[in-house]
Amino acid sequence: MSTMSNPEEADTLAPELPAMFDGMKLAAVATILYVVIRCLNLKSRTEPPQVTCQDTVLSRYLLKSCPLLTKEYVPPLLWGKSGHLQTALYGKMGRINTPTPRGVRKFLPMPDGATATFDLFEALREHRTGGDVTMVICPGIGNHSEHKYIRTFVDHSQRQGYRCAVLNHLGALPNLELTAPRLFTYGCTWEFAAMVDSVKQAYPLTLLVVVGFSLGGNVVCKFLGENPSNQNRVICCISVCQGYSALRAQETFLQWDQCRRVYNFILADNMKKLILSHRSSFLTSSSSIGEVELSRLFAATSLMQIDDAIMRKFHGYSSVKDYYEEESCVQYIHNVSVPLLLVNSCDDPLVHPSLLEIPHSLAEKKPNVMFILTQHGGHMGFFEGAMLLPHPLTWMDKVIVECVNALCWWEEERPACENQQKDLRTSDVSLTPGLRVIESNLIEDIKLNSAFRI
């Protein structure tokens, strides 16, 4: 039997084959473009930050004095709308054209034998208010003053007239041995408190601006809420990209959506390396960590497993649940009475959207709290730029300093503002257009005074 095809049928199919292949190519290109657009989130629109706060004289003043709070945050067009790429580039690159500010390292002995360290950077110019203002800064998990995002922020702040003190998390500095078998933990404020006390003693007239990044945001908010005296001489507190509740955050870290489980594994691996780099310090008679705990560490694939095996034992917590509950700032943040700015990003892959209900609710209830939520920025990214290359300074660097500048002027004029608010509260007049004019005039007076002093 012949297997030869009919010549007429072959002639009929031949013209159709190129068209079929062209269709497959177009389909493949369309699929690739669709995936790229979805992955890079290119269809997402740039928007101004969503600001949640009560309607107060202070909030109106901040919104008028800080243009970055009301104008669009525009990330680099080709990749900046992807929270994953923003986060990954921050993690790998930190910042571009990173400056190298020069500071002095300070060593502080702790009551338990540990040695806290922080780096002190003097201002590069006089502060615009003519006063002495120090930023006390707490970095993210396992970070220190030598990380690029810290160096960039410190350099920018120095040039605006701020002295900067940056905590080096206990055990995070390379080539610096522990003097006690203990590392930093999620919410331990001992080292940060020691740094703040040291700054206050060295500079009796300085006012403080408290800044915390990621895990550092939890530490500083917990520190201020633990004891009212910790808020003495504090102008304001700014927290960036923290999760507020460790217990709820760790539960979301076990989920696969937004690749959160992958980030969990990467962070856990970094923590594992940090702990093992101090292995000899833990295998001592005074340590609560032994070979059993270290053997559990090798098998750990999540932060929760590491916290259960190692971290909670530094402070004697009986369970990881107790550790998370006691060391989360959500238990203390409502006690903070100084102006408190909480900054997060919608596309932060490390902070689940459900966690953002905490700052949102707090800002609705407390007149001193402002919650600033950007559409883009990832975790600690907030890069700006036109198409591809980001700018050296990020939106985060600029907005923190801009808000702090405004709050420093507010602190200068606070007695007059408080008297004005008191008069308004004791008045029987409701919120009328006339009252709004009074508030507007007060704000303009502050801005006018600021202009003259500059």
Residue 21 confidence (pLDDT): 58
Q: What is the pLDDT of residues 322-347, one digit of tens each?
A: 999 999 999 999 999 999 999 999 99
List the domain range (segments joined by +) for residue 117. Answer: 48-244+327-410
Rounded Cα gap, residues 332 and 327, in angstroms:
9
418 is a domain residue: no
Rounded Cα gap, residues 272 and 297, in angstroms:
7
When divided into structural domains, the chain yields a total of 1
Q: Catalytic one among 214, 245, 328, 345? A: 214
Q: Phi/psi class of residue 257: alpha, beta or left (left: φ > 0; alpha: ψ in -120 to 50)?
A: beta
Q: What is the dihedral of CA 7, 12, 14, 20, to 10 degrees?
A: -150
Residue 57 confidence (pLDDT): 93
23 is a domain residue: no
pLDDT exceeds 70 at position 421: no
pLDDT exceeds 70 at position 419: no
- Verify whether residue 22 is a known catalytic residue: no
Residue 27 confidence (pLDDT): 54
Residue 351 confidence (pLDDT): 96
Residue 10 confidence (pLDDT): 55
Q: What is the pLDDT of residues 16-46, one digit of tens each?
A: 656 555 555 555 555 454 445 456 777 788 9
Residue 440 confidence (pLDDT): 55
Residue 425 confidence (pLDDT): 54
| Percent of the chain at pLDDT exceeding 70 | 82
pLDDT classification of 435: cutoffs 50, 70, 90: very low
The first and second tokens of residue 139, run together, are 């970095």
- Verify whether residue 391 is a known catalytic residue: no
237 is a domain residue: yes
11 is a domain residue: no
Q: What is the pLDDT of residues 224-240, one digit of tens each?
A: 999 999 999 999 999 99
Q: Phi/psi class of residue 270: alpha, beta or left (left: φ > 0; alpha: ψ in -120 to 50)?
A: alpha
Type and span of the H or E element at 240: strand 234-240
Q: What is the pLDDT of residues 68-86, one digit of tens each?
A: 999 999 999 889 999 999 9
1 is a domain residue: no
Residues 6+ apart with CB under 8 A from 197: none
The first and second tokens of residue 357, run together, are 């209900």
The first and second tokens of residue 252, run together, are 């979301």
Rounded Cα gap, residues 436 and 316, in angstroms:
54
Record the pTM: 0.86
Q: Catalytic one among 347, 379, 397, 450? A: 379
| Percent of the chain at pLDDT exceeding 90 | 71
Computed over every residue of the chain, the mean pLDDT equals 87
Q: What is the dihedral of CA 295, 301, 307, 313, to 10 degrees?
A: 0
162 is a domain residue: yes
448 is a domain residue: no
Of 383, 324, 343, 355, nearest to 258 (Cα)? 355
Helices (H), 82-166: 83-93, 148-159
pLDDT classification of 385: cutoffs 50, 70, 90: confident
User: What CATH number has the domain bearing residue 128?
Assistant: 3.40.50.1820
> 299 or 157: which carries more pLDDT confidence?
157
Rounded Cα gap, residues 293 and 24, in angstroms:
56
Taking the CB of residue 46, how many other CB atoms lie within 10 A of it? 14
207 is a domain residue: yes
Q: What is the pLDDT of residues 105-155, one digit of tens each?
A: 999 999 999 999 999 999 999 999 999 999 999 999 999 999 999 999 999
Helices (H), 179-259: 190-202, 215-226, 246-252
- Sign of the CA dihedral running 288, 289, 292, 297: positive
- Verify whether residue 214 is a known catalytic residue: yes
Residue 76 confidence (pLDDT): 93
Residues 6+ apart with CB under 8 A from 132: 163, 203, 205, 206, 207
Judged by DSSP in three states, 345 sits in strand
Residue 364 confidence (pLDDT): 97
Q: Catalytic one among 308, 347, 348, 397? A: 348
Cα 254 off chain centre by: 21
The pLDDT of 200-215, averaged and rounded, is 98
pLDDT exceeds 50 at position 213: yes
